[in-house]
């Protein structure tokens, strides 16, 4: 079974973390995924370690981490690989993969155009 983790930075603003959790919930429902967790790098819970533990406890033998980050910055270049390597040592029977961040996805340009057009109409 494959589990998914939406992995975000985390914020001291609770509403920002709740917004990520709502995106995760919508993705799970719209995609028909049953093993989905939200995780944060810092300033919010659960962290990635806890999210992976939850999914592994529910039977996931593969976990796909989807960074909810716009760009491949220091956290995705340094912190995330370190955490994933640590988790791979703990959960040796669980394959952990990481997708690309949101940067470069063609839908982002459409979102920006939509926002600009809405502002220009106002």
Q: What CATH fold (topology level) applies to the domain 2-121?
A: Rossmann fold (3.40.50)
> pLDDT, tens digit, for every residue of 37-60?
999 999 999 999 999 999 999 999
Give the other-Cβ count within 10 Å of 93's Cβ.
6
Question: Cα dihedral angle (86, 90, 56, 5), rounded to 10 degrees?
Answer: 0
Q: Collect contacts of 82-88 with beta carbons under 8 A, ≥24 apart.
A: 83/48, 83/49, 84/48, 86/49, 87/48, 87/49, 87/52
The answer on pLDDT for 72 being more than 90 is no
For residue 47, the 8-state DSSP code is: B
Where do the structural domains in the chain lie, given as residue ranges?
2-121
Q: Which two tokens stand for residue 6?
A: 């939406």
Q: What is the pTM of this model?
A: 0.94
The answer on pLDDT for 8 being more than 90 is yes
């Amino acid at each position: 079974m494959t589990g998914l983790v939406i992995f975000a930075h985390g914020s001291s603003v609770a509403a920002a973390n709740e917004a990520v959790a709502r995106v995760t919930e919508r993705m799970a429902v719209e995609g028909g995924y049953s093993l989905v967790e939200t995780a944060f790098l810092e300033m919010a819970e659960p962290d990635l370690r806890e999210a992976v533990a939850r999914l592994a406890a529910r039977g996931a033998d593969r976990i796909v981490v989807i960074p909810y980050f716009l760009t491949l910055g220091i956290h995705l270049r340094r912190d995330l690989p370190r955490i994933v390597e640590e988790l791979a040592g703990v959960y040796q029977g669980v394959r952990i993969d990481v997708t690309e961040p949101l940067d470069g996805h063609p839908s982002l340009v459409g979102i920006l155009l939509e926002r600009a057009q809405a502002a220009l109409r106002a």
